[in-house]
A and B are shown apart, each in its own frame.
Chain A
Amino acid sequence: MFLRILWKLLGASRGRLAVALIALTSGAAVCSALLNVNLDAERKLTQEFRTLGANVVIAPPAGGSEAALADAAVLDRIAALRVPQIVATAPYLYVAANSGSQPVILAGTWFNQVAKMNSWWKLEGGWVSSRDDHEHCLVGFTAARQLGLAPGSAVQLRSGDRNISLTVAGIVTTGGAEDNQILTNLDSAQALAGLSGRVSLVELSVSGTPAEIEGVTRKLADNLPGLDVRPVRQIAAAEGTILGRIQGLIFWTIALILVLSMLGVLASMAALAMERRQDVGLMKALGGTVPRIMRLFLAEAGTLGALGGLLGFLLGVVLARWIGERIFGVVISARFEVLPITVALTIGVALAGAFPLRLLGRVRPADILRGE
């Protein structure tokens, strides 16, 4: 009988319940969309952040000799740790060289790894695609201007009594120290400097939240004794701040939307409560206890909340896709863990909005039956 009455209640005040359902569905849709964006945006943004340069640097201890170098075997030890968060590993060996009479810094590295973590670098000409390419180099924008180099130019570099000849593949603008350097294959730099098997530092691109990055840093430090493992704090902090602000914005927007939805439901339910006074008075006269009568009305509100939450979730997925494409330029996929959260929140809002119905418990049947 409970379900039978509940079904009839839902059909009895379709207009007012439809208004409440629209308020709940709209609120749930925005919540679902924002929760989807929140979950997906964090993943997508941390991926995006990983194209903005290294966020962990491994180098010989500071305070030592300026020319302190690490054994290149460190690269094998990092690989052996199999840390899934490490997106790219780029060793660097810096060599003071001369191009003709002009001094220049030659940086030997792995181009394929540098490309992974610095996709935002501006390039004129071509990239050096192979890690084993011993013939080409990239030249920083400032160094190219000083040395009069352009893509396709040949450049002779000398360090001590060793020479190498390279062809300029492209000119890079990075906004950093690389603008003053010539970048070439690590082996070539080691050969020119006579420092086979040595590197100046290793840059890592580590994905994840600031806490996860901190965790990876600790793990590396524990496994690489004698080397400094330092997170690039400005980048980690900036990433953390951006993610924190986005999450804060989403949290408060959801809270605001839920309150607004509740007010919408409250307005409908207040009108509904006036309509239901007669019914409640009669039910009490027939021997209905307040909890038993209220269970009916709260079940009605809860059902409305569940329905609103479900519809809102589906609409929210569509909305999240739209937001993802328009704002983040990524496809945000449906996250089904958002469904129970959305439905639970919407049921909570519906029950809170049904407060006027709960006041019906105070109705005195004698007053109602008298026609007051």
Chain B
Amino acid sequence: MVPLVQVDQLEKRFGEVRALDRVSFDVEAGEWIAIMGPSGSGKTTLINILGGLDHPSAGRVVVDGLEIGSLGERELTRYRADKIGFVFQQFHLIPYLTALENVMLAQYFHSITDEKDAAEALCRVGLSDRLSHVPAELSGGEQQRVAIARALINQPKLILADEPTGNLDEANEAVVLKLLHELHDTGHTILVVTHSQAIGNLADRRVELEHGRLARISAPSLAKE
């Protein structure tokens, strides 16, 4: 079976700085991958390239049959709308839109809006009573759940989460991890950037980066066994 994500000799340079240096790995559909490493190791750069927010300097990145490096700006925009669901550490919700409208915004840029679907997505993350609240009226955990509902609304091929629990307390972290678990159980492919060993241990595999290079790929589940 062809992997959903193929990263082959990926390089990203910012001037003289090599943020990613010949990184290669594959991700199968339905896998949960934790991308780990110290600060400045290239985790966010990797996820930005996978998400079509940045261009690779060299190497190949293929997601669901599309080679990211060959796409123009317009095609990358379409790629993000169709295939990627983002969850960010800072939540990145539009402050003047309600929870419901924030989810519908992703629908709007994807195709057409469906208020009922958006409301159901929020119900699935336990926010049925927060539809008309703006982000300022929601706790950090609730905001992150809105972001997860928004990431899922267009049924993306790949969910990219950059430190999704980095700004949350333990209780909310547990809620978000439970949601990620549920997504994984329902067959979603998830790449999570994290510093947390605990979260890394929940993934099927860990891709560890150091100074922009692939240090190792490990399978915590096997280690646990």
Q: Size class of A's contact patch?
A: 20 to 34
* B101 and A289 contact, CB distance less than 8 A: no
CB contacts (< 8 Å) of A287 on chain B: these are: 77-78, 80-82, 84, 106, 109-110
Q: Is B94 an interface residue (CB 8 A)?
A: yes
* B101 and A285 contact, CB distance less than 8 A: no
Contacting B109 at CB < 8 Å: which of A4, A279, A283, A371?
A: A283
Instruction: Kindly report which residue of chain B lies nearest to residue A4, judged by CB atoms.
Output: B101
CB contacts (< 8 Å) of B54 on chain A: these are: 366
Q: Considering the chains assembled together, what is the distance between the CA atoms of A57 and B222 in angstroms?
A: 113
CB contacts (< 8 Å) of A369 on chain B: these are: 48, 53, 88, 90, 92, 162
CB contacts (< 8 Å) of A278 on chain B: these are: 92
Q: Is A1 an interface residue (CB 8 A)?
A: yes
Known A5-B97, A286-B80, A366-B48; judge A292-B90 contact (CB<8 A).
no
Q: Considering the chains assembled together, what is the distance between the CA atoms of A285 and B106 in angstroms?
A: 10
Q: Is B96 an interface residue (CB 8 A)?
A: yes
CB contacts (< 8 Å) of A2 on chain B: these are: 108
Q: Considering the chains assembled together, what is the distance between the CA atoms of A153 and B94 in angstroms?
A: 93
Q: Is B216 an interface residue (CB 8 A)?
A: no
Residues facing A in B78-136 (CB within 8 A) are: 78, 80-82, 84, 86, 88, 90, 92, 94-97, 101, 104-110, 113
Stretch among A6-14, A122-130, A186-194, A309-317 lining the B interface? A6-14
Which secondary structure characterizes the binding site on chain A?
A: helix
CB contacts (< 8 Å) of A370 on chain B: these are: 44
Q: Size class of B's contact patch?
A: 20 to 34
Q: Is B42 an interface residue (CB 8 A)?
A: no
Instruction: Kindly report which residue of chain A lies nearest to residue B80, judged by CB atoms.
Output: A287
CB contacts (< 8 Å) of B150 on chain A: these are: 286
CB contacts (< 8 Å) of A283 on chain B: these are: 94, 105, 109
* A285 and B86 contact, CB distance less than 8 A: yes
CB contacts (< 8 Å) of B224 on chain A: these are: none
Contacting A286 at CB < 8 Å: which of B44, B74, B106?
A: B106
Instruction: Kindly report which residue of chain B lies nearest to residue A281, judged by CB atoms.
Output: B92
Q: Considering the chains assembled together, what is the distance between the CA atoms of A2 and B108 in angstroms?
A: 8
CB contacts (< 8 Å) of B56 on chain A: these are: none
Contact with B along A203-224 (1 / 0, CB 8 A): 0000000000000000000000
Known A286-B80, A370-B44; judge A5-B90 contact (CB<8 A).
no
A272 to chain B, nearest CB (A): 13
CB contacts (< 8 Å) of B88 on chain A: these are: 369
Known A8-B101, A286-B81; judge A1-B113 contact (CB<8 A).
yes
Q: Is B37 an interface residue (CB 8 A)?
A: no
* B96 and A11 contact, CB distance less than 8 A: yes
Q: Is A53 an interface residue (CB 8 A)?
A: no
Known A289-B74, A366-B48; judge A5-B109 contact (CB<8 A).
no
Contact with B along A360-372 (1 / 0, CB 8 A): 0000111001110
7 nearest CB pairs, A to B: A287-B81, A12-B96, A366-B53, A288-B109, A287-B109, A1-B113, A1-B108
On A, residues with C-beta under 8 Å from B are: 1-2, 4-5, 8-9, 11-12, 278-279, 282-289, 292, 364-366, 369-371
Can you report 9 A-B residue pairs in the complex whose CB atoms are below 8 A from each other? Answer: A1-B104, A8-B96, A8-B97, A279-B94, A284-B80, A286-B109, A289-B109, A364-B53, A369-B92
